[in-house]
């Protein structure tokens, strides 16, 4: 810890994809996220808890002192919940047609207001934030299903207002809160990485998933850790603060809480030349 992060180094093929899934040919051995890194550190003591693992050291846990209402649950609890919860009625085609779909103005996205932030909802968990001359996407899910495969699993009822190919601005950063399929979607991650070569900021333990997908431009943070990055598009530097959240993580039956979950605070400042950042 401290100094330059090497959490973005390549390796790890267990994901089942070649590490060349995103083409970084022609770049030198300095990884893209290293080039943007200004500083990395833990916050001074503030009473905000750092992450904690259980006695066996394999899974993250909620410390009862910091999260007194948190419950320890597992896969059996999920099955029990699925058996007892009342099913949500599926809207009919007429119901869906009666809903007012979300529309997004690409002109507004291309021309955000100067001196303030602009936030655009892209459906479900996905938000596009424009701040201090930078563009960020949080928890991208553009696929039809929140699932490891696209032929089964929870299916979205409304298409997203924009797909990755429709985004009219370069996405500088992608921020991930946790690894559930409706917040971390492999197809969406690869589409963003291939098109924009974005820098991904993820909670502790998730960098290996990205490396396995062939995404090398990833920075992994623990709770209370912060990193300042130089804007790749000429805007202001941004400081990303990884902060606690009460939740859990899992992408299968055997990896419960193996990776961390987080909330995020993003702070923008002046651009490198000391002037207000461009739009």
**Integer-rounded Cα radius of gyration of the chain:** 20
Q: How far are the Cα atoms of 8, 70, 95, 148 from residue 248, in angstroms, in the given order?
A: 24, 10, 33, 18
CA-based nearest residue to 39, from 259, 269, 237: 237
Nearby residues of 168 by Cβ (< 8 Å), 6 or more positions away: 106, 109, 110
pLDDT range class, residue 2, cuts 50, 70, 90: very low
185 with 143: CB under 8 angstroms?
yes
How many whole angstroms separate alpha carbon 202 and alpha carbon 160?
A: 23
HSE toward the beta carbon, residue 173, CA cutoff 13 A: 31
Measure the N-to-C terminal CA separation of the chain; round to a whole number of Å.
34
Query: Looking at per-residue confidence, does 182 or 93 come out higher?
Result: 182
User: Where would I find the beta strands (DSSP E) of 195-235?
Assistant: 199-203, 218-221, 225-229
CA-based nearest residue to 246, from 49, 42, 79: 49
From 67-76, 98-107, 109-118, 240-249, the region with the lowest mean pLDDT: 67-76
Predicted pLDDT at 10: 29
Predicted pLDDT at 30: 64
Predicted model pTM: 0.84
Q: Where are the alpha helices (DSSP H) in 21-141?
A: 32-36, 75-84, 93-98, 106-110
Note the pLDDT tens digit of each residue in 127-171: 999 999 999 999 999 998 988 888 888 888 888 999 999 999 999
Average pLDDT of the residues of the chain: 84
Q: Where are the alpha helices (DSSP H) in 47-169?
A: 75-84, 93-98, 106-110
How many whole angstroms separate alpha carbon 110 and alpha carbon 108?
A: 5
- Judged against a pLDDT cut of 70, whether residue 278 lies above it is answered with no
pLDDT range class, residue 265, cuts 50, 70, 90: very high
How many whole angstroms separate alpha carbon 225 and alpha carbon 240?
A: 8
- Judged against a pLDDT cut of 50, whether residue 255 lies above it is answered with yes
**How is residue 146 written in tokens?**
């929140």
């Amino acid at each position: 810890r401290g100094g330059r992060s090497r959490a973005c180094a390549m390796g790890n093929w267990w994901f089942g994809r070649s590490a060349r899934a995103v083409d970084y040919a022609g770049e030198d051995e300095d990884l893209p996220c290293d080039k943007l890194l200004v500083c990395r550190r833990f916050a001074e003591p503030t009473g905000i808890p750092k992450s904690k693992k259980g006695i066996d050291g394999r899974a993250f846990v909620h410390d009862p002192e910091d999260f007194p209402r948190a419950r320890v649950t597992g896969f059996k609890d999920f099955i029990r919940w699925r058996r007892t919860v009342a099913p949500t009625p599926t809207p009919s085609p007429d119901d869906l047609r009666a809903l007012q779909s979300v529309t997004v103005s690409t002109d507004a996205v291309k021309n955000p207001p100067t001196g303030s932030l602009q936030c655009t909802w892209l459906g479900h968990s996905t938000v596009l934030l424009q701040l201090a001359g930078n563009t960020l996407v949080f928890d991208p899910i553009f696929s039809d299903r929140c699932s490891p495969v696209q032929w089964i699993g929870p299916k979205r009822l409304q298409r997203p207002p924009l797909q990755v190919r429709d985004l009219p601005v370069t996405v500088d950063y992608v921020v991930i809160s946790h690894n559930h399929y409706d917040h971390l979607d492999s197809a969406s991650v690869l589409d963003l990485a291939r098109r924009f070569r974005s820098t991904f900021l993820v909670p502790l333990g998730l960098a290996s998933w990205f490396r396995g997908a062939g995404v090398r431009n990833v920075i992994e943070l623990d709770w209370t850790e912060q990193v300042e990055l130089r804007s790749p598009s000429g805007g202001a530097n941004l400081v990303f603060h990884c902060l606690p959240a009460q939740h859990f993580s899992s992408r299968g039956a055997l990896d419960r809480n193996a990776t961390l979950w987080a909330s995020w605070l993003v702070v923008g400042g002046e651009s490198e030349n000391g002037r207000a950042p461009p739009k």
